[in-house]
Structure 1
Amino acid sequence: MAVKPPGPRQPPLNALRAFEAAARLGGFAAAAEELNVTPGAISAHVKALETELGARLFDRNARGLQLTGLGARVLPAFTEAFDRLGQATQTLRAEAAPNVVHIAALPSVAQLWLSPRLPRLRAEAPEIEISITAMEAPPNLKRAPYDLCLFFGPEPDGRLAEDVIFPVCAPALAEQLHQPEDLNRLPCLTDSTWSEDWHLWAQQAAPGLRLATRGPVLSLYALAVEETVNGAGVLIGHQALIAGHLEAGTLVAPFDAPVRLPGGLRMSNPRPLRANTPAGRVARWLRDSAPA
């Protein structure tokens, strides 16, 4: 009878993934957010890995986590390995379900820019299934299973629209606004994602204006837009997201004072797109649907 003694036990993949994410991102909280688990789970995985190895991978001190020499030496190899695993998984998913296009987008972009375009896209390409995931920050494109990502960013490549901002409100409310100083008499809505919008606009469009923005802070920009349409106050509109409301007349710009911010709405993809694939066709269609 052949003797087949058990080989050395491999560390759990989840523990290795937790170590790599914490080391690359500089902390358990950031790793937990990327991996969609709790910081406690990341900490437990790393501690179990260190116990199994009999060596520390992090030094814990008042400044936070610091990689040990061992942790720093092995991190590049693990990062490369998980990047390649992520890319291989993306290829596997794409080829297993070639007619499904997975899109990750900022919630406001998904609801206000992408969603209104989908009926026409489905009518022109009914064989393509669109899957949308709304998230507050762009995913790691080397790991996440998405074909396309739609977010605001500073990079010029892949830009679909510039980021132009200006105050908007319901038509009835606009009758009370004749100059920027009048904003101090009305509620100024703020979105938590773009909490600096009012400051950025006033700094360039109305230098010297002492703007006391009083009004509710909303966690979703799409909700802030709907509240503005309903007459709840004035909001800084991002032109790419409110173009439909401006065209319909449900929102108006009381001042001719647009401010162009660096960057804009951009589309990115984790791997090169071939023009004749569903993802390539959707990307081209979205580019063509964006205003010049």
Structure 2
Amino acid sequence: MAVAPPRPKDLPLSALRAFEAAARLGSFALAAAELGVTPGAVTAHVKALEAHLGSPLFQRSGRGVVLTAVGARALPDFTHAFDALGAAVQVLRAEAAPRVVHIATLPAIAQLWLSPRLPALRAAAPEIEISITAMERPPNLKRLPYDLSLFYGEGDQIIAPDVIFPVCSPSLAAKLRHPEDLADVTCLTDASWAQDWKIWADVAMPGRNFTPRGPIFSLYALAVEEAAGGAGVLIAHQALVASHLAVGALVAPFAQRVTLPGGLRLWAARPMQPGSAVQRAARFLQVAASRSSGESSL
């Protein structure tokens, strides 16, 4: 009589994914952010995996976690496997919904740069559906379901330089003659780009150790609107305030401008198929970035 032995249980895919992310990023918290779960969930998955294997994968200490020899030997194969799985999922998504383009971008870019260009994109290619997700950091395109990433950064696929300079309402600009006059007015600061004032001031006012005085905003788009409303002077990123400058809602009171390393980066993790919806949308945005009107053709 044939005997059917019990099949060994497979290791849970969710636990393996938690281990790989935590090991690759060197942090349970960063792994949780990437996977969209809590750090406690990552910890629980890893502990369950270690219990199942009967071997520790991380060494815990007050300063964080470090891979054990077992975990370090396993990591490269798991990273390769999950990258391959992510690529396969993206191919499946593209085949199932070939006219949908998912874009991940910074909230300020979504509001001030991307959104004004969407009507022209829809008019040029009404069959393409654009889905936008705003987030604070670029996603891992090898794993997450986004076709394009649009953020400020360094690397290839830069579609516009990142130029910064002060802007304000015309009425406030009339009171400013020299950069040193900023000491007597309210200066608006964005929390994510708090270093912009120092970078610009070190060029425009070398040796002055200028410190901006004024409110700090967590939403750059709100800071832009406050500047246009006369609330103070804001360090602008040129691409994000181009429309405000074009209509005169904002003006640049000083000539000094600073170009930062990198720029507005439109990035795809995989080669885009010629004529695909992703390739056409990316080409539209590339051309739009080079034109102040934001108009293009596909």
Query: Which TM-score bucket, shorter chain as reference?
Result: over 0.9
Distance 1:40 1:204 in 2: 46
Q: Secondary structure at the match of 1:79?
A: helix
**1:167 partner SS:** strand
Gaps (5+ residues) in structure 2?
292-298
Say whether 1:194 aligns with 2:193: yes
Residue 264 of structure 2 aligns to a residue whose secondary structure is: strand
Question: Which residue number corresponds to residue 145 of structure 1?
Answer: 145
Q: Deviations over 1:127-178 (max 9, x none)?
A: 00000011111111211111111011111x2111101100000111111111
Amino acid in structure 1 at the alignment position of 2:71 = G
The one-letter amino acid of 2:46's match is: V
Between the aligned partners of 1:3 and 1:241, the Cα distance in structure 2 is 70
Matched, 1:282 2:281: yes
Secondary structure of the residue aligned to 1:228 is: helix
Whether 1:79 aligns to 2:79 is yes
Kindly report which structure 2 residues correspond to 1:174-185, keeping only aligned pairs within 5 A, or say none.
174-185=173-184
Q: How far apart are residue 6 of structure 1 and its match? A: 2.8
Native 8 Å contact 1:148 1:268 kept in 2 = yes
Aligned-pair CA distance for 1:4: 3.3
Aligned residue for 1:65, secondary structure, equals: strand
For each residue in 1:78-124, what CA deviation from the matched residue of structure 2 results, as whole angstroms up to 9, or x when unmatched?
A: 11111011111111111100000001111111111111000011011
CA contact (8 A) 1:170 1:231 kept: yes
C-alpha contact 1:57 1:67 (8 A) present in aligned 2: yes
> Which residue is 2:229 aligned to?
230
- Alpha carbon RMSD of aligned pairs, Å? 1.2
Distance across 1 between alignment mates of 2:2 and 2:113: 65
Checking the alignment, whether the CA contact within 8 Å between 1:112 and 1:222 is kept in structure 2 is: yes
Q: How does 1:91-240 map to 2 (within 5 A)?
A: 91-155=91-155, 157-240=156-239
> Which stretches of structure 1, 4 residues or more, deviate above 4 A after TM superposition?
none
1:254 aligns with 2:276: no
Whether the 8 Å contact between 1:146 and 1:270 is mirrored in structure 2 is no
Counterpart of 1:32 in structure 2 is: 32
> Is the contact between residue 198 and residue 211 of structure 2 (CA under 8 Å) also seen in structure 1?
no
CA distance in 1, matches of 2:231, 2:208: 22
How far off is 1:2 after superposition? 5.7
Q: How does 1:51-66 map to 2 (within 5 A)?
A: 51-66=51-66
3-state DSSP class of the match of 2:259?
strand
Q: 2:26·2:65 contact (CA, 8 Å) conserved in 1?
A: yes
Task: Tell whether the 8 Å contact from 1:160 to 1:266 is kept in structure 2 after alignment.
Answer: yes
- Structure 2 residue identity aligned to 1:169: C
Q: How far does residue 189 in structure 1 lie from its aligned partner after superposition? A: 0.8
SS at match of 2:187: coil
Q: Give the structure-1-normalised TM-score.
A: 0.97
Unaligned runs of 5+ in 1: none
Whole-angstrom CA distance in 1 between matches of 2:220 and 2:55: 47
Please tell me the residue identity of whatever aligns with 2:209: R
Counterpart of 1:6, as a letter, is P
- Identical pairs, percent: 64
| Other structure's SS at 2:256 match | coil
Contact 1:174–1:252, Cα closer than 8 Å, also in 2 = yes
What per-residue deviation string (whole Å, max 9, x for no partner) do you get for residues 6-41 of structure 1? 311011111111110110000111111111111111
Encode CA deviations 1:32-69: one digit per residue, 9 max, x unaligned.
11111111111111011111111100111233211111
Q: Does the Cα contact within 8 Å between 1:169 and 1:253 map onto a contact in 2?
A: yes
SS at match of 1:266: strand
Q: Is 1:263 matched with 2:274?
A: no
Q: Hey, what does 1:8 align to over in structure 2?
A: 8
CA distance in 2, matches of 1:114, 1:127: 18
